[in-house]
Structure 1
């Protein structure tokens, strides 16, 4: 008579099946897994058993769960250097990722006190604010806001409309090279809007980078603020 104690627990069998799905590429990094209800139907068990199996893969680092959003295949963090020259497309390509940007809004408005100080202009001067979403291999990794002084770069808004690349837009208005003058990194948590764009839960950890880029005459041409999804990038500082 067979010893039933040798049988594999159902939750371990579910974990093994899902592990096999990942190994075969059925789900790619960043993909959302089927719901607990759908998996329970697939395996013919209750949702508690499915949850136990998923928890095992979370412990292994293969799956990440987000409260209210579900379970996702863990993506390998993207290496993102921050140094004298920060170029989004070049950074992602160097990391073996496919870069893309999605324009959310381009607007002209008055500079706040802090923005004016960063751009070396007067409070209330007009700036161009470019809001966007950065993606790697189709997965959102950061939301950003780039601010430009209109007095110094009169046609920058139109240049950004023509190309989503900050480097190309600056080149179009006469700034052929720029470098990072300062960078500040802080930890924060996602707002509801940031969470929506990044497909994470409100309150999830973010890394906030703020920096000033200057032209060859050391005049500020961009004040950038970027909020990176904390589990999707590894920021590295270069000398």
Structure 2
């Protein structure tokens, strides 16, 4: 079949890839593909629409830019999941929250450093100005789909080598347990609506300016001493933050 099988060769105003994107979007809206379903392969879509794979690939990229689909390397293209309930309460645990929602959680560390605390960081962690802190930045995913970006700040003197622990385990809970912090709770949380910057949009597979939700929180140990000062930027259409009354 040729590129013109589904549209007239002359006078065509809508690009073929856009027509394919619209057709697949309609399929999703009509329930033919549910959240989490895998779309047909590029070869199958090429046969269905009578186009080459490059055109199909462009259509799928357009749908990904709109947040309708996401690709998993070696697995295919999937319809984006419905928003995941994410409890915000005294105990905020990324892995636990995602597993409870039936999702597979993973974390990617994008960077880390030990430096002098900024004024707000020192205040939040009850540290003298300029005290060394560990800063870990990364991306949280569910079933391979980016859910949030995070930046966590920890007292460096209390937790020597913490950045290596975080890189090894991918879990704040497990890393802090190594230092005898068997439990920690959320002392405060502030939520603010924001628009994704170009960098945030790239990491979260969003468009620049799309809605995101910023959560700023302080976690404390059982004695009330701050152990983490964190910022999390959630993709607005992928997470429903719920108030946990625990």
Paired residue for 1:131, among 137, 143, 154?
A: 137
Runs in 1 of length 4+ with deviation above 3 angstroms? Answer: 13-22, 27-31, 39-45, 64-67, 69-74
Partner of 1:107: 113
Partner of 2:32: 23
Partner of 2:91: 85
Once residues 140 and 118 of structure 2 are traced to their aligned partners in structure 1, the CA distance between those partners, rounded to angstroms, is: 25
SS of structure 2 residue aligned to 1:228: strand
Partner of 1:188: 194
Partner of 1:60: none
TM (normalized to structure 1)? 0.75
Does structure 1 retain, via aligned residues, the 8 Å contact 2:136–2:151?
Answer: yes
Q: Deviation digits for residues 112-139 of structure 1, max 9, x if unmatched?
A: 1111111111221111011111011110
Q: Deviation digits for residues 60-102 of structure 1, max 9, x if unmatched?
A: xxxx9676x6863443001100111111111001111111111
Mark the CA change 1:237 to 1:148 in structure 2 (over 3 Å): closer, same or farther. same
Once residues 164 and 119 of structure 1 are traced to their aligned partners in structure 2, the CA distance between those partners, rounded to angstroms, is: 22
Q: Deviation digits for residues 133-185 of structure 1, max 9, x if unmatched?
A: 10111100000011101122223223223211000000012211111100110
Once residues 237 and 200 of structure 1 are traced to their aligned partners in structure 2, the CA distance between those partners, rounded to angstroms, is: 25
Say what the alpha-carbon RMSD is for the aligned residues. 3.4
Does structure 2 retain, via aligned residues, the 8 Å contact 1:159–1:173?
Answer: no
Partner of 2:181: 175
Q: Deviation digits for residues 205-225 of structure 1, max 9, x if unmatched?
A: 100001000011100000111
Matching of residues 69-84 of structure 1 within 5 Å: 72=69, 73-84=79-90
Once residues 158 and 102 of structure 1 are traced to their aligned partners in structure 2, the CA distance between those partners, rounded to angstroms, is: 13
Once residues 120 and 86 of structure 1 are traced to their aligned partners in structure 2, the CA distance between those partners, rounded to angstroms, is: 21
Partner of 2:151: 145
